[in-house]
A and B are shown apart, each in its own frame.
Chain A
Amino acid sequence: MKNPPKKCKITAKKDVIAYRKTCKAQGTGLSHYILMDKKAK
């Protein structure tokens, strides 16, 4: 198992869950697929 899944945290349920992340939008996304991951150069 090269990448063991993290165990689910057992925590008290929160009243509100809200978060948002951002980055500079590249606009490089295509419609079907390809080049989606960053492993190709």
Chain B
Amino acid sequence: MARGKHRQSSDAATPSRGRYVGTGNGPAFQPIDIGHPEYVAVIEPDTAFWALVRREKLAHAVLGGDLVKSFRKKASLFAKEIDTLRFGLKPSAVYFNPTERCNLNCTYCYIPEDMRRTGQHMSRERLLESLAILKRYFRTTLPKGSLPQIVFHGAEPLLNREAVFAGIERYADDFRFGIQTNATLLDESAIEFLRGRQVSIGISLDAPTASIADRTRSNWEGQGVFQQVIRAMDRLKGYPAWSVICTVSQENLRHLTKLVDFFHEHEVPTCLMNILRCTLPRSRSVKPADAPAAKHFLKALDRTHELYRKTGRKLIVGNFANILLAIIAPAARRLMCDISPCGGGRCFFALAPNGDLFPCSEFIGLPQFCGGNLFRDDLPAVLHSPPFESVTGRKVEDIDPCRGCAIRHFCGSPCPAEAHEMNGRMEKTGAFCEFYEEQVRYAFRLIADEKVNDYLWDDWDQGLRQTFGMS
């Protein structure tokens, strides 16, 4: 039970007045060891409230004193903020899959092989019609002046380049566009077109050398595409709105630190080092264990910091930055995997080339999660269809061990597709748990050592206001 607790403490139906920490309606502070020599964290999980306390002061801080008093004053505000974030948002983005096909056959892809090998393109006419429908829909849901986001995603969207570019051209003023591509078709003219229209560009690369990168990302003939990606990276230098996704797997885990060097050298402004999703069985063949995944991932984060200290130029690891933001400014987080319910079906949804709608691209290979069709069905009704609600209704409170976990609103227990396919049902964790625990502990150590700014965008707190402060 998360909703409402901090607003009910004086309600006659809940006789506890919340006078004591840890019982009744009192703050449910949980101390956690963050691996820091001087500080431990104290977390009130439902509100995602936290404080770092000197180890020797823990008992005093948790059982009384200014921390408890200050928290009580703000508890309702924090509860409302988290409630809005978890249950009060509307969709504002679409993963738009303009084709089922891909020219690569990556080990961990969540789109079934036969679809990628022989699937269909969305026609130019259908693609334009889709954008027209989405434009009309978002006009009814988003505030005036707020542009919805369209991310052309895959499979490989540039296999259907003519239709995609026609859509970007026609609806330039109606959406913020982005494209996630494997970069093999990202030639000079494509980059010129996309840069000229300020389209965000995401490309994929898993390792700093061909021999490693090509293990997981190769074409249907088994040939790697490392060199093609490097050429695209060189072309993108200087463009502020590009990034690289690295999928972290057993194959590249030990090379993440070198990959950070490589990205930094190539002036990548932002990267994501996403742990692979284990939705489809094939991807599980390269699943790393949690402990080594965390160890190497955190070493890579350390390396980004060393490089920043040395050169003054940051390489932001976006997925970690998002966890850091989830702690210090929950409403400012930008990615919606690490929150419960996740963003699938409630902050964004995915459109397949035939018009079928899914809560997230991760579900596109799972027909039982199709909620309807953009061309045939009413979109608001699709968003409330049983398949969508099975995802939007998945909450940490219903999952063990998440329901008792102090960091449940920093991690969010991703991912529902993975939980369902790998572990049998929605009310299960996904493939990783300790990996997220270690990231949160690392984030708290950065806070303790006053290094937060070094891991976030320069203007990360622009437009934010402080709602709590104690030191």
Contact = CB atoms under 8 A, between A and B. Distances in A.
**Do these two chains interact?**
yes
Interface of A: 1-6, 8-9, 13-41
Contact of A31 (B308, B360, B459): B360
Contacts of A1: 311-313
Contact of B469 (A18, A26, A32): A18
Contacts of B453: 6
A28 B313 contact: no
B448 interface: yes
A41 B468 CA distance: 31
Given A22-B465, A37-B269, A41-B198, A28 B93 contact: yes
The number of chain B residues touching the other chain, given as a range, is 35 or more
A16 B331 contact: no
Nearest to B57: A15
A22 B457 contact: no
Contact of B92 (A2, A26, A33, A34): A26
Contact of A5 (B272, B322, B454): B454
B1 interface: no
B58 to A, nearest CB: 10
Contacts of B332: 21-23, 25
Given A29-B343, A31-B342, A17 B52 contact: yes
B90 interface: yes
A20 B466 contact: yes
B205 to A, nearest CB: 13
B369 interface: no
Contact of A18 (B153, B199, B459, B471): B471
B241 A3 contact: no
Contacts of B333: 29
B437 interface: no
Nearest to B67: A16
Interface of B: 38-39, 49-54, 57, 61, 66-67, 70, 78, 81, 84-85, 88-93, 95, 146, 149, 151, 153, 176, 178-180, 198-200, 202, 240-241, 243, 245, 269-270, 272, 274, 308-309, 311-314, 318, 322, 328-337, 342-344, 346-348, 360-362, 415, 447-451, 453-454, 457-459, 461, 463-471
B187 to A, nearest CB: 20
Given A2-B313, A3-B314, A31 B466 contact: no
B312 A27 contact: no
A24 B465 CA distance: 10
Given A16-B57, A32-B272, A40-B198, A21 B309 contact: no
A37 B347 contact: no
B378 to A, nearest CB: 21
A32 B247 CA distance: 10
Contact of B470 (A9, A16, A36): A16
B313 A27 contact: no
A20 B70 CA distance: 12
Nearest to A26: B92
A39 B241 CA distance: 6
B202 A33 contact: yes
Given A23-B463, A24-B331, A31-B337, A18 B312 contact: no
A28 to B, nearest CB: 5
Contacts of A5: 308-309, 312, 454
A33 B243 CA distance: 8
Given A33-B245, A34-B180, A27 B89 contact: yes
A17 B451 CA distance: 13
A3 B176 contact: no
B52 A36 contact: no
A36 B312 contact: no
